Chains A and B, each alone.
Chain A
Amino acid sequence: DAGVIQSPRHEVTEMGQEVTLRCKPISGHDYLFWYRQTMMRGLELLIYFNNNVPIDDSGMPEDRFSAKMPNASFSTLKIQPSEPRDSAVYFCASSPGGGGDTQYFGPGTRLTVL
């Protein structure tokens, strides 16, 4: 079975532009997570979904960030407008269910905002 798929792998954009990151979770997984990795803050959860419904978005840094999951096989993380401090690696992860289920990570998207 394919793992978590993220696109693009790299994104370079200019400040003020809209950025959309995409994720396809592992088929059959009920949970989807968006994490951000920076040198200063390490790995931090931005938002997660259960059965396509956002459950906890307390990690979303500000209103410029939004995430959607229109169906069980696709999610987007959008930044509008982007700023240089948004430069980071963004990971999508999925897990089969709650409890102690392991989260499986995608390869990440490296975002650079100039």
Chain B
Amino acid sequence: AQTVTQSQPEMSVQEAETVTLSCTYDTSESDYYLFWYKQPPSRQMILVIRQEAYKQQNATENRFSVNFQKAAKSFSLKISDSQLGDAAMYFCAYRVLGGAQKLVFGQGTRLTINP
């Protein structure tokens, strides 16, 4: 069974600094997708970034980028120039290509931004 592990329950960073959130996963599949979702206090789940496993290039969305290491089954999220609005729970998620449609989530990392 696929599993997703986020080893950092909590992280904090100074405003305007850079922070990296870690995620590892376990799968025997070769084709899959990885996602980072943000959950602010409003509890709305918001997609931050996604990565297709067949793409070697790391995905980037403005201040958010990932470091995808397929062989190591690692998928970290880097947030540059942290802003107060980035404070939230961040969830890493995995989905196999085709077959079961479900997202498998990690336990989440709570990110605090210090002004």
Q: Which residues of A contact B (CB under 8 A)?
A: 31, 33, 35, 42-45, 48, 50, 55-56, 59, 89, 91, 93, 95, 98-100, 102-105, 107-108, 110
CA distance A59 to B104 in the complex (A): 12
- A to B CB contacts below 8 Å, 10 in the list: A42-B107, A43-B91, A48-B102, A91-B45, A99-B98, A100-B95, A102-B50, A104-B47, A108-B44, A108-B45
CA distance A107 to B44 in the complex (A): 5
In the complex, which residues of chain A have a beta carbon less than 8 angstroms from the beta carbon of B100?
Answer: 56
Candidates A33, A43, A44; contact of B101 at CB < 8 Å: A33
Give chain B's interface residues, CB within 8 Å of chain A.
Answer: 33, 35, 37, 42-47, 50, 52, 91, 95, 97-98, 100-103, 105-108
On chain A, the residues within 8 Å of B105 by CB distance are 42-44
Once the chains are docked, how many angstroms separate the CA of A110 from the CA of B101? 24
Contact B97 A100 (CB under 8 A): yes
Please give, as numbers and ranges, the residues of chain A lying within 8 Å of B43 by CB-CB distance: 89, 107-108, 110
Query: With the chains together, A95 CA to B74 CA distance in Å?
Result: 25
Asked, given contacts A99-B97, A100-B95, whether A45 binds B44 with beta carbons under 8 Å apart, the answer is no
In Å, the complex CA distance between A98 and B95 comes to 11
Asked whether, in the complex, the Cβ of B103 is within 8 Å of the Cβ of A45, the reply is yes
When C-beta atoms are compared, the residue in chain A nearest to B108 turns out to be: A42
Closest Cβ of chain A to B45, distance in Å, is 4
A101 CA / B33 CA spacing, docked (Å): 9
Chain B residues lying within 8 Å of A98, measured Cβ to Cβ, are 98, 101
Q: Given contacts A91-B45, A110-B43, could you give 9 more A-B pairs where the C-beta distance is less than 8 Å?
A: A33-B103, A42-B106, A42-B108, A48-B101, A56-B102, A59-B102, A102-B47, A103-B103, A108-B45
Which of B91, B98, B101, B106: most chain A Cβ within 10 A?
A: B101
Inter-chain contacts of A45 with B (CB < 8 A)? 102-103
